[in-house]
């Protein structure tokens, strides 16, 4: 289940219903699914997309997404830091950022037009849609592992536009991580 943290208010939301309600107020769709099709650690993107074909088709029908791919990174992924640097500065996209997390964890920071910056820590089973135009940035958690299905309305439109605000520098990418998960 996702966790929301609002540093300026020292508020952390951990209950699914309150996380969903908070995110909905900011136009962010959130659902928690059970990853129902176990795939091996070395499964190819094609195999993962095939295993989740029915879920992907349902999401495409709902959101007008035309294509899907898989992001699959681990600590030993070549050029990982370079890859992550593209997304850890505040930016927006011309289309929705849709992710279904299959494995690992990640941390979105969202900078709404009104109200303080908040962080969303996602884990396996979390489905999140950050609407186009939303100012945000993304970091991995300490385990530097994430495998997620990404959906696109138009792949060519999914270029980050950087705000260059520097706001992201004021927030540490701190995850609750597995220590919280094991307490559930
Ligand atoms: Fe992004």
What pLDDT, in 10s, does the model give residues 68-113? 999 999 999 999 999 999 999 999 999 999 999 999 999 999 999 9
- Angle (CA) 134-138-144 rounded to 5° is 160
Query: What is the tens place of the pLDDT at every residue in 16-64?
Result: 999 999 999 999 999 999 888 989 988 999 999 999 999 999 999 988 8
Taking a 5 Å cut-off on Cβ, the residues next to ion ligand 1 are 97
Residue 142 has pLDDT above 70, yes or no: yes
Q: Report pTM.
A: 0.92
Q: How far does the centroid of ligand 1 lie from the alpha carbon of residue 112, in Å?
A: 14
Residue 167 has pLDDT above 70, yes or no: yes
| Tokens, residue 36 | 């129902």
- Give one DSSP letter per residue of 129-164, joined into a string: EE-TT--EEEEE-TT--EEEEEEES-GGG---EE--
Q: How far does the centroid of ligand 1 lie from the alpha carbon of residue 149, in Å?
A: 14
Q: How far does the centroid of ligand 1 lie from the alpha carbon of residue 87, in Å?
A: 6
């Amino acid at each position: 289940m996702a966790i929301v943290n609002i540093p300026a208010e020292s508020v952390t939301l951990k209950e699914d219903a309150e996380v969903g309600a908070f995110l909905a107020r900011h136009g962010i769709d959130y659902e928690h699914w059970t990853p129902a099709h176990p795939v091996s650690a070395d499964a190819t993107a094609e195999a993962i997309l095939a295993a989740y074909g029915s879920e992907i088709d349902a999401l495409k029908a709902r959101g007008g997404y035309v294509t899907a791919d898989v992001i699959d990174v681990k600590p030993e992924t070549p050029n990982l830091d370079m890859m992550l640097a593209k997304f850890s500065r505040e930016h927006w996209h011309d289309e929705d950022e849709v992710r279904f997390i299959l494995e690992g964890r990640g941390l979105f920071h969202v900078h709404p037009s009104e109200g303080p910056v908040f962080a969303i820590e996602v884990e396996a089973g979390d489905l999140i849609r950050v609407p186009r135009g939303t100012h945000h940035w993304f970091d991995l958690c300490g385990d530097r592992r994430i495998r997620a299905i990404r959906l696109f309305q138009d792949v060519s439109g999914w270029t980050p536009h950087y705000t260059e605000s520097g706001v992201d520098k004021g927030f540490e990418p701190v995850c609750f991580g597995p220590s919280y998960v094991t307490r559930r």
